[in-house]
Structures are given as C-alpha cells and as structure tokens.
A and B are shown apart, each in its own frame.
Chain A
Amino acid sequence: MMFALAVNGLYKAYAANAVLAGVDLTLAAGEVLCVLGPNGAGKTTLISALLGLVNADSGEIWFFGEQQQGATRSLALRLQLGVMMQIGSLSANLSVYEQCDLFSSYYAQGYSAAELVQLAGLAEHAKQRFGRLSGGEKQRLLFALALAGKPRLIFLDEPTLGMDVEARQALWQQVKQLRQQGVAVVLTTHYLEEAEQLADRIAVLHQGRIVAKGSPDELKALMQYKVVRCRSCLTDAELTALPAVLHLSREQQLITLQTRHAEQTVRALLHADQQATDLEVRPVALEQAFLHLTQNPNTQQEQAA
C-alpha cells in the first residue's frame, strides 16, 4: 500500500539533546492523523523535519512512495502539499483578496482567489488588510491558503488557535470534508476535543518518541479504568476503601472516583450511602488517557506495542 506519508526511525538531536528519538509513522489517503504531545515533546520539530524546514540526522521520510533526501522537497511534491503553520503570518499590508490572489497564482490546478476568499468565509472582509483581521479570521485565511492548490496531503499545526466556537466547528467540518475527498491530514493540536472529533488515529509524542498510537477509542481503552461521579456524604477514607477504587478527587460537592471495576464500586457505594445522588459512570476521557500516557510513557509504550 502506498502511503501519503511514511516515516521510519526519524532522529534529530540538537547538541546532545535528542528532540526526535526514532519516530515511526504512516498516514494513508483520506486519513486524519493527530500528533499529540505536551509542550517540548518534539511536535514542531517533527513537522519541520517532514516539511524539510530542518534536516533530520537520520531516518527515512517518504511522501507518496518517494523517499525524500535531506531538507529538499521537490516542486512536484510541494504542489501536492498544503501547510498551515502554527507561527503563520502574512503581509500585514495586503488585503484578504490580494493574499488569495498571490497564493492562487502558485497553482495551475488550484482554487481561484475568489474561491479562496469564499473558503475562508471572509467575503465580507475581502478588502480588509491582514493586519486588521481578528485572530480567528487570520487563522481562517491561513487555512484557506493551505488549500489553495487542492492538496493531497495537508499539515495543520494548531489550526483552531484563537478561533471562536462557531469558526472552530466550521473548520472541523471542512477537515471532515477533506477526509471524505481522500485528502490525508496531519493535525497537531492542544485541544483534545479537536483530536477526538477529527482524528482517525492519534500518535502521542513524548520526549521525541511515539509512546502510543491508535484510534481515540483504542487510546482510551489503554486505560484500565472508568470514572464514577456522584454526590455523597461518605468521607474520603470511606470512598477510597470502596472496592476497585484507584483515585479520588473532589470538586466542591462533586466526587470523582477512578475505578478498575465500575460495577463493583457503584454497588458498594449505593450499599454504603443510599442517599448518593447525581450518580454517573463514564469511560475515560481522552484527556485523562493523554495525561496518563505522557506521565507514564514507558509502561504505555509496552502496552501500545
């Protein structure tokens, strides 16, 4: 199978500090891969190495079945890529339409300037200069420019940073449409809700290594516990003594229990406190799985393998 992107043993160090310590990834057409990781995990270096902005020390990078050499990316490849970088700004003195006109000229088979303005949802601001747009509007324009050449593979680095809820959901919808059209998407984000909404697969990067990868459900399943929430008059000691309870936390009156066996815990809880209210059992949220994976990378790496 020819992948849109395949990475084998990618390694990059600055001085003696390995920022990427042997990263392996694959991405198929029509798939959204989300790279998650705490600050300093190596996400930006990974994206930069893939795009040829920095030269990896070793490892292989393949785009559409072609191995890339060094930091050079061919014109033929760049015509097939769309990129929205985290630190992305345009000339502050050019208008929305002018930026779209400039970018559309780079591609023979891409969108016209007018179509890009529509894609960005900025038709009413077409004559407004980039420097006078709001943060969310700038992000929308940068996203539209990443689509200028109708790419087969698109890199989105923190694409919804600064967007309001409406704009964020509109962008999510556009990403879903891209996936349906067979476009491969590499997404990095700090919003776990975004990852859960969009990603077919998530790769968790920690200290330059992929410590876990799989679908959002598979990552959550790595956590061998569920969450029980309730209001109860029991003391902390009584609650932690309930069967299978791993961890307890309180937020005002609301109690959150992490449990290895939710049914046993709930039965015992109701037996001890028949007045317990607002009882609910939830699967582990992606956020908890992510925190656990990045705080205990070694144990999870074994599980993921």
Chain B
Amino acid sequence: MNTAVIYRKEAWYDLLSILRTPGFVIPSLAFPVVFYVFFGVMFNSGGASAYMLVTYGCFGIMGPAMFNFAMNIASDRAHGWLTLKRLSPMPVLAYLLAKFTTALVFSLVIVALLFTIAAVFAEVRLDLWQWVLLAVVLLLGTLPFALVGLILGLTLSDKAAPAVVNLVYLPMALLSGLWLPIHMLPSLLQQASWIWPSYHLSQVGLKVIGMDQGHALSIHLLLLTLSSILLAMVAVWSFKRLTGENA
C-alpha cells in the first residue's frame, strides 16, 4: 500500500467528481463574482472596491468549503459511500484532506477571479506583497469553514444539509460584515460579530490593505486559531459518535 498514492488519488477523484457537478461548480464560482461585480465594481465609490474585494473574497471561499464538506459528506454517509471507505484500508485523513484540497482549489479559482476583476475593472491597486498576502490569508481561511461543513456533514442528513448550511452561511456572512461594511450594522450586531470566524478572517484580510477596524492582528489570529481548534474537536467528537465509540 502506497500511502502517497492513496492521498493523491483521493484528492484527484474528489475534485473530478465535484467538477462533474455543474450544480455545485457554477453557483460556487458565480455567487461571489456576481456580488462583487454588482457591489464592488458597478457601485464603486470611495475605495469600496478594495474593501469589498476582501469581504467578498471571504464570502467566496466560505461557500465551497462549507457546502463541499457538509453536503458531500452527508450524502456519502446516506448512500453508504463513507461506510465503504471506512471499512477499507484507506486512511480517513486521506478522505478529509481530499475534500479540503477540493475546497482549496475552489478558493484559489475564486480568489483569482476576484483579483482579476478587481485589478482590471475596479482599478484596485495594491502592492505585490499585498496581493500575495491577501491570497494566502484567504486560502488559509478556508480551514475553519471546512471544519464547520465537516461537522454539519457528520451530523445532518443529506436532505437537511443544504438548508442548514444556507442557514449558517448566509447569516454568518451578513453578521460578519461581508455584505455590508461592519460599521453599518447596529452596535449590538457589531459586538456579536466577534463570535464569527468569518469576521476575524475578514479583519485579517482588511488589515493587509489597511482598512480593518484597528484591533490587534494577534487577537484575530488567536481567535481564528482557537475557533479552528474548537471546531476540530467537535468534528472529531462527531466522527466518534458516528462510529459508536461514544455509545
């Protein structure tokens, strides 16, 4: 058994399977692009394009991460695919990393599309290091949302997963200031935004272009790390519950 080959094939076939699902690919890529073109390019005023590049970038990478994990894992569970894989010698980590790789590929494409539109049509001008660092932040930011999707996929039925992901995804994006600048939200919601990882991710991204709210970078990074650890622990617990180890 060549472990590297298993990881590579799992990742490739997971991506291939998703790419052959236009119902997933088209909305995942079109949603953030259409939003950004509409609000960031067509109604561009006072440097909002750069700000919205970051917030819609966050919004864009959250979707595929959460939906790919939640819907596909719930579906794999419902149809016995995950059971079959767990009974095989395939490392479970290979299955999870494959899904994460797919989410990363989508994030990369979304980031490339948004950056191109921002630079060409919205005249966003950043230094090279800012483009690169912003891309890295957005790609790394895929992780906590993949973990949210993983938890939902391990706990929900395949029929409930899409609706619940939308119930989490859309309010979280709105309440984190990804659609409207955070200072436009009521003060109570602004304070509550601290509970969302998407808020902290957007603040890290905004810090790269100097448009954040001014809190210390270390606080956002710490809270992102802690929320990722907490989500990972819940995901592990959900997986063990699924296998009956806690029964």
Say whether B87 contacts A81, CB under 8 Å. Answer: yes
Residues of A within 8 A of B79 (CB): 87-89
Closest A residue to B20 by CB, please name it: A93
B6 CB within 8 Å of chain A: yes
Listed stretches B8-16, B103-111, B144-152; interface member: B8-16
A202 to chain B, nearest CB (A): 24
Given contacts A93-B20, A93-B21, contact A53 B13 (CB under 8 A): no
Given contacts A94-B17, A102-B10, A107-B1, contact A83 B247 (CB under 8 A): no
A55 CB within 8 Å of chain B: yes
Say whether B16 contacts A94, CB under 8 Å. Answer: yes
* Bound Cα distance from A108 to B89, whole angstroms: 11
Given contacts A79-B1, A102-B10, contact A53 B83 (CB under 8 A): yes
B209-247 vs A: 1/0 string, CB under 8 Å?
000000000000000000000000000000000011101
B45 CB within 8 Å of chain A: no
In this complex, how many residues of chain B approach chain A with their Cβ under 8 Å: the count is: 26
A22 to chain B, nearest CB (A): 19
Closest B residue to A54 by CB, please name it: B244
A283 CB within 8 Å of chain B: no
Closest A residue to B72 by CB, please name it: A91
Partner of A105, one of B9, B17, B20, B80: B9
Partner of A106, one of B18, B81, B88, B244: B88
Name the interface residues of A83-117: CB closer than 8 Å to any CB of B.
83, 85, 87-91, 93-94, 98, 101-103, 105-108
Interface range, A side? 35 or more
Residue of A75, A91, A93, A102 with most chain B CB atoms under a 10 A cut-off: A91
Given contacts A71-B243, A78-B88, contact A106 B6 (CB under 8 A): yes
Say whether B13 contacts A55, CB under 8 Å. Answer: no
Say whether B245 contacts A70, CB under 8 Å. Answer: yes
Given contacts A83-B87, A88-B80, A93-B16, contact A55 B244 (CB under 8 A): yes
B2 CB within 8 Å of chain A: yes
B84 CB within 8 Å of chain A: yes
Given contacts A89-B80, A106-B1, contact A78 B89 (CB under 8 A): yes
B90 CB within 8 Å of chain A: yes
Residues of A within 8 A of B81 (CB): 88-91
Say whether B13 contacts A102, CB under 8 Å. Answer: yes
Say whether A52 contacts B80, CB under 8 Å. Answer: no
Say whether B84 contacts A107, CB under 8 Å. Answer: no
* Bound Cα distance from A52 to B240, whole angstroms: 12
Residues of A within 8 A of B83 (CB): 53, 85, 87-88
* Bound Cα distance from A54 to B90, whole angstroms: 19
B26 CB within 8 Å of chain A: no
Residues of B within 8 A of A149 (CB): 88-89
Say whether A108 contacts B2, CB under 8 Å. Answer: yes
Say whether B80 contacts A103, CB under 8 Å. Answer: no
A51 CB within 8 Å of chain B: yes
* Bound Cα distance from A93 to B17, whole angstroms: 5
Residues of B within 8 A of A53 (CB): 83, 86-87, 243-244
Name the interface residues of B77-101: CB closer than 8 Å to any CB of A.
79-81, 83-84, 86-90
Partner of B17, one of A75, A81, A91, A106: A91
B61 to chain A, nearest CB (A): 23
Name the interface residues of B6-59: CB closer than 8 Å to any CB of A.
6, 9-10, 13, 16-18, 20-21
Residues of A within 8 A of B1 (CB): 79, 106-108
Given contacts A53-B243, A71-B243, A93-B21, contact A105 B5 (CB under 8 A): yes
* Bound Cα distance from A81 to B89, whole angstroms: 9
Say whether A78 contacts B87, CB under 8 Å. Answer: yes
* Bound Cα distance from A102 to B90, whole angstroms: 10
| A-B contacts, 17 listed (Cβ < 8 Å) | A52-B243, A53-B243, A54-B247, A55-B243, A55-B247, A70-B245, A83-B88, A87-B80, A88-B79, A90-B84, A93-B17, A105-B6, A106-B88, A107-B89, A129-B20, A142-B84, A149-B89
B contacts, CB < 8 Å to A: 1-2, 5-6, 9-10, 13, 16-18, 20-21, 79-81, 83-84, 86-90, 243-245, 247
| New A-B contacts (17) at CB < 8 Å, excluding given A51-B87, A53-B243, A106-B89 | A54-B247, A70-B245, A72-B245, A75-B89, A78-B88, A78-B89, A85-B80, A85-B83, A85-B84, A88-B80, A91-B81, A93-B16, A98-B16, A102-B9, A103-B88, A105-B5, A108-B1
